Amino acid sequence: MLKAGDKAPEFNLSDKNGNTVSLKDFKGKKTVIYFYSKDNTSGCTRQAKAFAELYNLIKEHNAEVIGISKDSAVSHLKFAEKYELPFVLLSDPELDAIKAYDVWQEKKMYGKTTMGVVRTTYIIDENSVIEKAMPKVKPDTNAADVLSFLKGGAEG
**What pLDDT digit, counting tens, does each position of 60-93 carry?**
999 999 999 999 999 999 999 999 999 999 999 9
Handedness of CA 11, 12, 14, 19 (dihedral sign): positive
Measure the CA–CA gap between 101 and 113, rounded to whole angstroms. 21
State the pLDDT at residue 153: 58
Exactly one of 23, 44, 68, 150 is catalytic; name it.
44
Beta strand pairing call for 63-69 and 30-35: parallel
pLDDT above 90 covers a percentage of the chain that reads: 92
pLDDT above 70 covers a percentage of the chain that reads: 97
CB contact at 8 A, 106 and 113:
yes
State the pLDDT at residue 19: 96
pTM (predicted TM-score): 0.94
Mean of pLDDT over the chain = 95
| Catalytic status, residue 34 | no
Q: Which domains does the chain have, with CATH numbers?
A: 12-155 (3.40.30.10)
CB contact at 8 A, 90 and 101:
no
